[in-house]
Structure 1
Amino acid sequence: MNLGTITIEMVVGFFALFFLTKVLGKTQLSQLTPFDFISALILGELVGNAMYDPDVHIWMILFAISVWGILMYSLEILTQKSMKFRKILEGSPSIVIRKGTMDRKQMSKNKIDINQLQNLIRQKGYFSLREIEYAILETNGSISVLPKSDNQPVTRQDLKLQQQATTLPVTLIMDGTILYDNLSTAGVDEDWLIKQLKKKNFHSAKEIFYAEWKNGEDLFVMKET
């Protein structure tokens, strides 16, 4: 195979895979089920091996990607439409700690030992199993934790404080560049932003590495270093 043929096949394969991932949706890596992970590996192997096989042409690569993509897309539709099929393909969450007690049967069924369970619990910020009331092993291998009431964080409702509206922070400056679309989202303009910067002894957005707006709070600014 010459370099030109390899280049063309790599470009075609790249955009074909890019298109396929767009069609299949925005599943994050942490949300992949075991079947999704294996499917991605097989698809990568199909394309990778085909690119360096002189007997395989571009149309064969596209055909392989199309067939595999149709199969994966069909399974995605089936899992959305059928709960039974979804359970078979994706599995179902398992309660591995119930009312403060480890469920050895569920742990054995999911091939997880106590060391792995402790590791997952620590990743959630809890360093003792005695702090946990319920722990659910999700289908993607992560764990969801409900701590005992004594270990749950205090909320404003617990302290009987007045509730406040929750607002999302908005990035206004990034890498010295003003994000004008985000100014509109925040309901402010460039003049307001420059005035806020001057209050903090900055004269230009180019001096700013990152600036964030949040309703009811001062403008958060990190300068370029």
Structure 2
Amino acid sequence: MEPMFFDGWASLVRTCIVGVMAYCFLVISLRVSGKRTLAKMNAFDWVVTVALGSTLATILLSKDVTLAQGALALSLLIGMQFAVTWSGVRVDWVRSVVSGEPALLVYRGEFLHAALLKERVNEDDVFAAVRSAGVRGLGEVEAVVLETDGSFSVLPLGGERSGKSSIEKLRLAGQADNSEHGPNE
């Protein structure tokens, strides 16, 4: 049976030394790669962030993984994140595959039921988002959008409109996808 509570000082010293070095390597790598590496803008970003944390934990706790192997694994994850986000900024289909598109769920106070079904969102989720935004009801809502990171954006009615609206693009896409249940003008 392996020791459960204490395995000797050598393993504790290893954890401290490797932990400090791996942490410093990760911090420097993240600073070099830029702010976008840890941004949680979509599911892909979340997965990379979790994978970085899991890799760091493995480096700290597993005697089977050397610091060099761990540093390589962290570098690989950060490099892949950089390559994918760099490509996503420049190539539309990469951005679409990695990020997806936001979905218009409510337009001018009316649920877009086909969009709710497609995105697997129920009306109660939308009402909760509306309340969280400090809006009393759907009658006061221009739009509710399910963003690519899974959060809801609630845009209240009112105010002057100037310039191009980000809702127009979503509204037109929603009409193409949901021709029989499209938003009413």
TM-score using structure 1 length:
0.61
Q: What are the residue-to-residue correspondences of 1:95-110 with 2, within 5 Å?
A: 95-110=104-119
1:27 positional shift: 4.6
1:2 partner SS: helix
Match of 1:65 in 2: 74
1:47 aligns to what? 56
- The 1:123/1:83 distance shift into structure 2, 3 A limit, reads same
- The residue type paired with residue 141 of structure 2 is I
Counterpart in the other structure of 1:200:
none
Partner of residue 135, structure 1: 144
List gaps (5 residues or longer) in structure 2: 1-9, 161-185
Q: Tell me the secondary structure at the aligned position of residue 82 of structure 2.
A: helix
Q: How many residues align?
A: 151
Decide whether aligned partners of structure 1 residues 39 and 66 sit closer, same or farther in structure 2, where only a CA change above 3 A counts.
same
SS across alignment from 1:141 = coil
Larger radius of gyration: 1
Q: Compute the RMSD of aligned alpha carbons.
A: 2.2
Q: How does 1:177-196 map to 2 (within 5 A)?
A: none
Q: What TM-score comes out, normalization by structure 2 length? A: 0.73
Q: Comparing both chains, which one has the higher relative contact order based on Cα–Cα distances under 8 Å and sequence gaps of 6 or more?
A: 2
Residue aligning to 2:180? none
Q: Tell me the alpha carbon deviations over residues 14-50 of structure 1, each in whole angstroms, 9 at most, x when there is no partner.
A: 1122123223432598843111111111221122123
2:128 partner amino acid: N
The answer to whether the Cα contact below 8 Å between 2:144 and 2:154 also exists between their aligned partners in 1 is yes
Poorly superposed stretches of 4+, deviation over 4 Å:
27-31
Alignment-mate amino acid for residue 48 of structure 1: A
Residue ranges of structure 1 left out of the alignment (5+ in a row): 154-225
- Between Structure 1 and Structure 2, the one with more strand by share is 1
Contact 1:30 / 1:140 at 8 angstroms: preserved in 2?
Answer: no
Q: Distance in 2 between matches of 1:140 and 1:58?
A: 33
Matches within 5 A, 1:1-225: 1-27=10-36, 31-149=40-158
Identity of aligned residues (%): 23
Contact 2:22/2:71 (<8 A) preserved: yes
